[in-house]
Amino acid sequence: MSAATLNAMKLVTAAEMRLLEKRALESGTSFGDLMHNAGRAVASEICGLFDSFPGKKALVLVGPGNNGGDGLVAARFLNDAGAITHVYLLAPRDPGDLVYNEALEAGISPIEVESDAGFSKLRELLGEADVVVDAIFGTGLGRPIGGASAAALTLVAEARNQRPDMVVIALDLPSGLNADSGEIDDSTLAVDYTITLGYAKRGFFLFPGADYTGQILVADIGIPDGLDDDILSEVIDEHDVLSILPLRPSDAHKGSFGKVMVVAGSTEFIGAASLVCQSAARAGAGLVTLAARQSLHPVFAAKLVETTHLPLPETAHGEFASEAAEVALARLVKYDAAAIGPGLGQSPDTVEFVHQLLSGISENTGLVLDADALNALSLTPDWWDIFNHPAVLTPHTGEFARLSGLSIGEILANRMEICRKNAALWGKVVILKGAHTVVASPDGRIAVSPSANPGLASGGTGDVLTGIITGLLAQGLDEFDAARAGVYIHAMAGESVRNNIGDTGMIASDLLIQIPRAVKSIKEHDHASCH
C-alpha cells in the first residue's frame, strides 16, 4: 500500500476513459493538447525517478496508435531533458503524423522494425538502456498481441532479467493488460512503474493485471475539473477514511460510541465469535455483547472479559432452541448494530434461527452479515426479494458464488463489475473479500482496497473485518462508509503485521491491537499534513 501515490485515485474502464476524453474535447481541449500533456507528463515522471537524468539512455517502444503517439511525445521530452533517446517503431507511423514529425525535428531517428533483421539493433539497445518505455498498446488493443510487438516485449522481459537495474515503464498501461478486467496478454510485461494517463484503470486492481503494473503513478493530462463526477469507482484512501471516521468527544461515555451485538460461534467455531467481539471493541464500539448458545457461555465468559453476554436458549442437543431468536431480538432493540454469522454453523436449526432473526430485526439496527448468515441466506432462492433490511454483506468468493448462483470462475473474471451489479440487485453494501477487496454500494459506487496481502489469507481475518465494520456502524457510520473505512483499517492493520513479522505465519489475533494503531495513524497523518 503506497498511500502517497494512491491518494484520491478514481478508477475508470476503457469506455469511461474514452467518455472523459470526449468530454474534454467538447469542453475545448484539443486532442493534440491531451497527447502533448500526456507525453510531457510521462517524461517528467520518468526524469523524477532518477537523481540525475542527463546522459541516461532511454528507449521508447512505439506502437501504431495513440499510445505510440504518447510515446513519441514522451521521447521528445526525454531527449530535451538530456537523455540519449532512441525510438523503436513496431508499426509504421503515418508520414503526416504530427508527433512523429516533431520527434524527427527534435533529432530523434526512429528505428523501424522492418529494417532491423533479427532484432539485432533492438537487442543492442536493450543491452545498454537505463530506462525502457512500453508505448506499444494502450486502451485500444483489440486482439492478442502477435508478430514483432510480441517478440519485442519478450526481448524486453529477457533483457530485464539479465539487467535488473534497467527501469521498465508502461505508458498508460502495460501493453496487453485489459483496462476493464485485468486480464493480460501472453507477452504483457511486468513493469516497474505504470505511468497512467488521467485516471488509473480498473484492471490495475484486478488479477492477474495487478501483478504487472509495478508502482502506479497517475499523470495529469489536463482533463478539465468537473467532468468526472459520474465516475463512481475509486481506490480507498486515507483522506476519505479520515473524513468518515467518527469523532471522539472528550466528555464521551460508553453509550456515545454505540452498542454492538455479535451473534456468532458454535462448539466447533469458538474463536470466530471472540475475534468479532474483540475487533468491534478495538474499532471503538462502546459496548459489545455476545449472543451465543448458553452451553458456550462459560468458555466465552472466561475468554472475553470486556464483552457482556446474552446466553441463548438451546436444545438438549446443543442446537438453538425455537425461542432463541425471540430472546435475541428482544435484546437487540437496545443495540445500534449487530454482526450475525461467524462460526454459527449450518445445521437446520441454526439456519432457521438466522432466518427468524433476519425477519424480525429492526430497520434501526445496523447489520453486518458474514459466513454462516450468508450461507443461510443462500438457501432461499431470490433471497434479496424477501430480505429488505439494509446491511453490509462480507462474502469471500465461495460465499459470493452461493449468494449469487455464479461460478467462482465467473466472479474472479471480473470482481469489480460483478460486485457492483450484485450490490445493486441485492440492495446491499457488498464486500467481495480477497486481494484488493472490492466494496460496492447499491447506488453504483465502488471502493477498492489499495492492499493485496497474502498474510491475510488465513482463518479468522474475515471475522476481524466483520467486527471492525460492525463497530463502525454502531458509531453511526452508514453502511458504505463503515464498509470502506473498515476495509481500509483492516488492510492497514494487516500491513503493520506484515511489516513486523512478514507474510508467513500471521494469525488473525495479531491484527487486533493493530486496529486502534491504524486509526491513530490515520488521524495523525492528517495532523502531520496540516502543519
Interface ranges with ligand NAX (CB under 6 A):
17, 21, 34-35, 38, 63-70, 137-145, 172, 197-198, 221
Task: Let me know: does 177 contact 188? Beta carbons within 8 Å.
Answer: yes
> Phi-psi bin for 128: left (phi > 0), alpha (psi -120 to 50), beta?
alpha
Cβ neighbours of 31 (radius 10 Å): 12
User: Could you say which of ligand NAX, K ion, none residue 483 binds, taking C-beta under 5 to 8 angstroms by partner kind?
Assistant: none
User: Could you say which of ligand NAX, K ion, none residue 47 binds, taking C-beta under 5 to 8 angstroms by partner kind?
Assistant: none
Q: Residue 184 has which C-alpha cell?
A: 493480460
Q: Cβ of residue 351: shortest distance to ligand NAX, in angstroms?
A: 50
User: Could you say which of K ion, ligand NAX, none residue 219 binds, taking C-beta under 5 to 8 angstroms by partner kind?
Assistant: none
Q: Cβ of residue 175: shortest distance to K ion, in angstroms?
A: 4
216 near K ion, judged by CB under 5 A: no
Residue type (1 letter), 322? S
Residue 526 marked as a ligand binder = no
Stretch that binds K ion, among 103-111, 115-123, 131-139, 196-204 (CB under 5 A): 131-139
User: Could you say which of ligand NAX, K ion, none residue 353 binds, taking C-beta under 5 to 8 angstroms by partner kind?
Assistant: none
Residues pairing with 86 in the sheet: 59
Q: Cβ of residue 214: shortest distance to ligand NAX, in angstroms?
A: 17
Cβ neighbours of 239 (radius 10 Å): 15
Q: Which is nearer to K ion, 110 or 345 (CB)?
A: 110
Residue 70 marked as a ligand binder = yes
175 near K ion, judged by CB under 5 A: yes
> Phi-psi bin for 321: left (phi > 0), alpha (psi -120 to 50), beta?
beta
User: Could you say which of K ion, ligand NAX, none residue 134 binds, taking C-beta under 5 to 8 angstroms by partner kind?
Assistant: K ion
Residue 134 marked as a ligand binder = yes
Q: Residue 2 has which C-alpha cell?
A: 503506497
Crossing angle for the helix pair 415-426 and 397-404, nearest 10 degrees? Answer: 50
Residue 505 marked as a ligand binder = no
Q: Which is nearer to ligand NAX, 60 or 262 (CB)?
A: 60
Q: Cβ of residue 69: shortest distance to ligand NAX, in angstroms?
A: 5
**Distance (Å, whole) CA 124 – CA 118:** 11
* Grid-cell match 506499444, residue found: 136
Q: Cβ of residue 33: shortest distance to ligand NAX, in angstroms?
A: 9
The strand order across the sheet containing 438-440 reads 233-235, 446-448, 438-440, 429-432, 392-393, 366-369, 337-340, 259-263, 287-293, 308-312
Q: Which is nearer to K ion, 170 or 351 (CB)?
A: 170
Residue 433 marked as a ligand binder = yes
Q: Cβ of residue 171: shortest distance to K ion, in angstroms?
A: 5
Task: Let me know: does 128 contact 57? Beta carbons within 8 Å.
Answer: yes
Residues pairing with 219 in the sheet: 197
Contacts 24+ apart (CB under 8 A), 416-420: 416/11, 416/202, 416/205, 416/206, 416/233, 416/440, 416/446, 416/448, 417/180, 419/446, 420/233, 420/444, 420/446
Per-residue contact string for residues 63-82; x = within reach of K ion by CB under 5 A: ----x---------------
336 near K ion, judged by CB under 5 A: no
Crossing angle for the helix pair 348-360 and 371-378, nearest 10 degrees? Answer: 90
**Distance (Å, whole) CA 291 – CA 294:** 9
Residue 255 marked as a ligand binder = no
Q: Are strands 259-263 and 446-448 parallel, antiparallel or unpaired?
A: unpaired
Residue 203 marked as a ligand binder = no
Task: Let me know: does 291 contact 331? Beta carbons within 8 Å.
Answer: yes
Q: Cβ of residue 135: shortest distance to K ion, in angstroms?
A: 5
Residue 139 marked as a ligand binder = yes
134 near K ion, judged by CB under 5 A: yes
Determine if the peptide bond prior to 298 is cis (ω within 30°).
Answer: no
* Grid-cell match 529494417, residue found: 115
Could you say which of 11, 171, 179, 312 contacts K ion (CB under 5 A)?
Answer: 171
| Distance between start and end Cα atoms, the chain | 24
Stretch that binds K ion, among 80-88, 127-135, 264-272, 274-282 (CB under 5 A): 127-135
User: Could you say which of ligand NAX, K ion, none residue 345 binds, taking C-beta under 5 to 8 angstroms by partner kind?
Assistant: none
Residue 437 marked as a ligand binder = yes
Q: Cβ of residue 280: shortest distance to ligand NAX, in angstroms?
A: 44
Q: Which is nearer to K ion, 136 or 325 (CB)?
A: 136
- At 289 the three-state DSSP class reads strand
Task: Let me know: does 292 contact 264? Beta carbons within 8 Å.
Answer: yes
Q: Cβ of residue 412: shortest distance to ligand NAX, in angstroms?
A: 24
| Binding-site size, K ion (CB under 5 A) | 4
Q: Which is nearer to ligand NAX, 70 or 237 (CB)?
A: 70
The footprint of K ion (CB under 5 A) covers: 67, 134, 171, 175
Binding residues for (6S)-NADPHX: 66-70, 138-144, 172, 272, 343, 396, 463
Annotated binding site for AMP: 433-437, 462
